[in-house]
Structure 1
């Protein structure tokens, strides 16, 4: 009898919680209408390029920092892959400690060095430090290291919610900045002296640059390449990425929490029995930028999770020397739906095709949920 009352009570609490969530979701605005991006002011891009010029007269040294237990997949791998294929700087993937770096929402990689090893090898510091989103904004080792690199003259670039980490280090105080739409208000509440700049994918101010959501890594890195090596080099890399145009323009108001987003996520989460593992085969020489985008996107549906696999347990080296550690063997994924990772496609096309595949499998609204998380201007549903 007691068990029956407990079960009934638990069910009542669940129903009340669901009712509350339903009421909350219907209080949200409907889907955002497609929006035009406001134009750039005369000289705005020139000023940004000047702000991102290499701080020292040498081949630039770029350090991309991470914490071992949870660093955002695309934020960490896309800057690495784009800058390395440009060949205009030395790019080092760093972690707070030795061992693998577990990325979220997918993939595991091996960093090139720890922060301590980098400091021993480069006491003068990096020219640029790229800060991805991390599960913790206040990791003491990261914050202290960022402050030290800034004091040595490095330009700090916060990618996506990595801006929150940069802000936690005190490096955005009194400066103009942006970040991922979902984390913007939290950052401004914690750091009220930051001057938010709307409708810009990239904002640079006095030794620090920040970007909007995850997909902004691509235009941000192209702007950085142009600052380092000129427009012609940036255009060549953009062609390799499959990106026809890029600049700092953005339609910020098109990215916000909406009713379709909330109800779709809620529905997908509640369908807990309907989960899939999507196998992503690792192959030597594959494009790490395409890999990151594909694995990231499939792991943001609230219906599926990308799992990397290979015939070996050893790390697989990608096109630009990123070491990706397989998470499973082929036999472990016998029940998974193996899917083409589109690594034969240029990264921009790989992302578009993956979103189309997600729409085909889980519906247009789920694909829109993924695109909104990536802050990517793409919509499948009307």
Structure 2
């Protein structure tokens, strides 16, 4: 018997797939925020140390928002063959779904770690999973959620907050450093650093000045001006081919879709290097601009937008993404530049 146990143990340790943590990312066909969904998938898949799947109640294509694109879920709830170690909840529309919420509560009861990205925190708050805990969310939603859920200790000074088995993040682009921090917990510092380097993104920095994100006169005017001219907005194609970089595509699609001056979509349907299937519009618009997603750092897309439409528009996009680019261009530059922007 001892020899049989030794053989079984050897087989188990020789198969990394058996030992890898399972992380599932929820999605809803009716609408799921682009970076909220793709960033955790891309970061964890790139590491090679985590099994990660995008799951939904059905295999219907998931509409990415903003942007004009869809992705295919990789499994349904019913198709999962084992309990996930981590469940990630991006911002989805509608915010409430009884089947999805019941499934999530059951995973929490069974001990899964829960990670809510951006306004996905509302799903947890509504289900009572944040009661008595510290949490954060997108800056624009904080006041409303603080009023609706007073039993939660809402904070503005962190890009992500871990309170026991629950993690919440600030807005949209906080999904990238928070996913790297999760990867560090699951696979270690060395794996996290190597993954960040390959993706071309800074190492995670948790400190955050969320109170500095607010709609001032300049941002309001930029946004209104964009909306007023949306009817003549530029058609922007994000170039992808099979094997494309998931994270670079997502940050480009998301950022160019928020300018109020352009409509962004993938140049064609393709499958990423991590087997994420992206579906383009059935009838592709005629592109006035083709953009190349070069790396996953949102600063790259924001700089490209500044070059195309001016710094005011890039600042407005950074505000909606809750990205530190907003702080960098709003304030006087520090005497010593920071080592990295999250």
TM-score by length of 2: 0.87
Q: How does 1:42-121 map to 2 (within 5 A)?
A: 58-106=19-67, 107-118=69-80, 121=81
Aligned mates of 2:153, 2:196 — CA distance in 1: 30
| Number of residue pairs the alignment of both structures matches | 311
1:167, distance to aligned residue in structure 2 (A): 1.4
Moved beyond 3 Å, runs of 4+: 379-382
Give the Cα–Cα distance (whole angstroms) in 1 for the partners of residues 175 and 44 of structure 2.
Answer: 11
Determine if the alignment matches structure 1 residue 333 to structure 2 residue 280. no
Work out whether 1:319 is the aligned partner of 2:273. Answer: yes
Return the alpha-carbon distance in structure 2 between the equivalents of residues 367 and 280 of structure 1: 17
Tell me if the contact between 2:245 and 2:272 (Cα under 8 Å) persists in the aligned partners.
Answer: yes
One of 121, 126, 145 as aligned partner of 1:163 = 121
Question: Who is 1:346 aligned against?
Answer: 295
Could you report, residue by residue, the CA deviation over 1:56-80 in whole angstroms, capped at 9, with x for unpaired residues?
x942110100111100001101100
CA 352–234 in structure 1, closer or farther in 2 if over 3 Å, else same: same
CA contact (8 A) 1:309 1:327 kept: no
Question: Deviation of residue 96 (structure 1)?
Answer: 2.3
What aligned pairs does 1:282-293 form with structure 2 within 5 A after superposition? 282-293=240-251
Gaps of 5+ in 2: 1-17, 332-342
SS at match of 2:315: helix
* Displacement after TM superposition at 1:321 (Å): 1.0
Residues in 2 aligned to 1:272 and 1:245: alpha-carbon distance in whole angstroms: 36
1:267 — aligned with what?
Answer: 225
Q: Distance in 1 between matches of 2:201 and 2:245?
A: 15
Residue 369 (1) aligns with residue 316 (2): yes
CA-CA distance at 1:241 after TM superposition: 2.2
Q: Which has the larger radius of gyration?
A: 1
| Distance of 2:49 and 2:19 partners within structure 1 | 11
By how many angstroms is 1:381 displaced?
6.6
Looking at structure 2, the residues matched to 72 and 66 of structure 1 have their Cα atoms a distance apart, in angstroms, of: 9
Q: Distance in 1 between matches of 2:104 and 2:66?
A: 24
In the TM superposition, residue 84 of structure 1 has moved relative to its aligned partner by 0.4
Assess if the C-alpha contact under 8 Å between 2:24 and 2:54 holds in 1: yes
Q: Could you tell me which residue of structure 2 aligns to residue 28 of structure 1?
A: none
Match in the other structure for 2:306? 359
What is the distance in 2 between the residues matched to 1:214 and 1:230?
Answer: 24
Q: 1:365·1:381 contact (CA, 8 Å) conserved in 2?
A: no
Structure 1: segments with no counterpart, 5+ residues? 1-56
Which of 124, 127, 151 lines up with 2:85 in the alignment? 127
> What TM-score does the superposition give when structure 1 sets the normalisation length?
0.78
Equivalent residue of 1:324, what SS?
strand
Quote the Cα distance in structure 1 between the aligned partners of 2:285 and 2:330: 31
Q: 1:87 to 1:266 in 2, by over 3 A?
A: same
- 1:244 shift after superposition: 3.7
Measure how far apart 1:340 and its partner are: 2.3
CA contact (8 A) 1:308 1:328 kept: no
